Amino acid sequence: METEDYPRPVAMGLVGAGPWAATMHGPVLAAGPQTRLAAVWSRRPEATAQLAARLGAHPAGSYEELLDRCEAVAFAVPPDAQAVLAPRAARAGKALLLEKPVALDLDAARALADTVAEHGVVTQLVLTKRYHHATRAFLAAAATFDTAGARARYLHGAFLGGAMATGWRLARGALYDLGPHLLDLADAALGPIEELRACGDSRRWIELTCVHRGGTVSQLSLSGAVGLSSSQAGIELYGPAGTLALDFGTIDHDQCWPVLRAEFAAAVRSGVPHDLDVRRGLMLQELLDRAGAR
């Protein structure tokens, strides 16, 4: 598909054929107009073929074949697999659309960031909530809000069973899956996190206390193992003027993905890195590492 604004959609390769790839990454990238889904590859040939057929993409028989057919690669695989595969794509000159966290350990995240820097490829993180107008309005207001302290929470029961109760999530818990969202928003709203303390069990409930540059304190509560009918998530800032809040329940992810897609394509075509790039992912990984090493 060609339009005046998007004369050449970015040819995307999708790594992964699981539920997240099938319901989010794949359909969004195939929908265009800024991107087209050129190929799909996963370690499960049957799942690869089924998803590629549904989305009108080529079922790649190998990772190398996928790289040959695309300009950019989107990853919908566990973080440890992404950390191995993404550097190979960067060395092949492909732009990277990365899931969070970018890896499961700090050394792997640093190696990925170093490879990206060496080869000069564009990267962008799938921190979905950051692409919603409500989040951006909140962060713009936070820039001038006199904040004395802040609280944030991300609580749900998805790790108790179902499609999200996967190996790495069960092993690492809410800190690595939900933590990047809250740490990113707290850091963006309140300033760089200079001190971080954690207590609890990430597989059940974990609390993070952050001290931001300038002295503002935030408290982040995380759990994926509590029985709730729906998730409870958001961030509230408190100060002399009252409160400033963002409720994740107001965020329709169907509005986030088109913005994410358009901004990634613009970054690829311009060669100008997005603010939410692998360097942001490495910063979040460093925070996760500090919280997990208590």
pLDDT digits (tens, 9 = 90+) for 135-192: 999 999 999 999 999 999 999 998 898 888 888 898 899 999 999 999 999 999 999 9
pLDDT at 47: 97
Give the pLDDT band (50/70/90) at residue 280: very high
Q: How many domains does the chain have?
A: 2
Work out the average pLDDT over 17-32: 96
pLDDT at 5: 53
**Contact in structure between 202 and 289 (CB atoms under 8 Å):** no
Identify whether residues 31 and 174 lie together within a single domain: no
Identify whether residues 31 and 108 lie together within a single domain: yes
Give a yes or no: residue 5 inside a domain: no
- The pLDDT of residue 1 is above 50: no
Mean pLDDT, the chain, whole residue set: 95
Give a yes or no: residue 2 inside a domain: no
**Which residue has 């933590």 as its token pair?**
179
Identify whether residues 117 and 192 lie together within a single domain: no
**Contact in structure between 177 and 169 (CB atoms under 8 Å):** yes
pLDDT at 6: 55
Identify whether residues 114 and 143 lie together within a single domain: no
Give the pLDDT band (50/70/90) at residue 7: low
Cα pseudo-dihedral 124, 246, 138, 197, rounded to 10: -70
Q: Give the C-alpha separation, 294 to 291, whole Å.
A: 6
Identify whether residues 195 and 102 lie together within a single domain: no
Give a yes or no: residue 261 inside a domain: yes
Work out the average pLDDT over 204-208: 97
Work out the average pLDDT over 198-224: 97
Alpha helices in the chain (DSSP H): 19-20, 26-31, 45-55, 63-68, 79-91, 106-119, 133-142, 167-172, 174-177, 179-190, 253-270, 278-292
Q: What percent of the chain shows pLDDT beyond 70?
A: 97
Identify whether residues 77 and 164 lie together within a single domain: no
pLDDT tens for each residue of 216-254? 999 999 999 999 988 899 999 999 999 999 998 888 889
pLDDT tens for each residue of 94-129? 999 999 999 999 999 999 999 999 999 999 999 999
Identify whether residues 36 and 176 lie together within a single domain: no
Identify whether residues 95 and 189 lie together within a single domain: no
Identify whether residues 59 and 149 lie together within a single domain: no
ω into 7 cis (within 30 of 0): no
Phi-psi region of 161 (alpha: psi -120 to 50; beta: other; left: phi over 0): left
Give a yes or no: residue 93 inside a domain: yes
CATH number of the domain that residue 168 is part of: 3.30.360.10
- Two structure tokens written together for 38: 């050129």
Identify whether residues 115 and 165 lie together within a single domain: no
pLDDT at 164: 80
Tell me the CA end-to-end span of the chain in Å, nearest whole number. 51
Identify whether residues 139 and 226 lie together within a single domain: yes
Give a yes or no: residue 62 inside a domain: yes
Identify whether residues 234 and 89 lie together within a single domain: no
Q: How far lies 54's CA from each of 19, 27, 39, 43, 48, in Å?
A: 14, 9, 12, 18, 10
**Which residue has 């005046």 as its token pair?**
4
Q: How far lies 73's CA from each of 14, 27, 105, 111, in Å?
A: 6, 15, 21, 18
Whether the CA torsion 139, 145, 150, 151 is positive or negative: it is: negative
Q: Give the C-alpha separation, 171 to 53, whole Å.
A: 33
Work out the average pLDDT over 57-69: 98
Give a yes or no: residue 237 inside a domain: yes
What range does the domain containing 108 cover? 10-127+254-276
